[in-house]
Amino acid sequence: MNKESLSKLSTEQLLKKHTAAKTMVWLLAIVLTGVLFFFIYVSIQDGFTPLLAVPLALSVIIPLNVKNMNALKKELDSRN
pLDDT one-digit tens code per residue, 10-51: 999 999 999 999 999 999 999 999 999 999 999 999 998 899
- Domain of 19? 10-79
In-domain check, residue 43: yes
In-domain check, residue 2: no
- The whole-number average pLDDT for the span 55-73 is 94
Q: Is residue 45 exposed (0-12), middle (13-18) or buried (19+ Cβ within 10 Å)?
A: exposed
How far is Cα 25 from Cα 48, in angstroms, rounded to an integer? 28
- The whole-number average pLDDT for the span 44-63 is 93
Q: What is the pTM of this model?
A: 0.82
Whether the per-residue pLDDT at 3 is higher than 70: the answer is no
Structural domains counted in the chain: 1
The dihedral through the CA atoms of 14, 18, 2, 77 has a sign that is positive
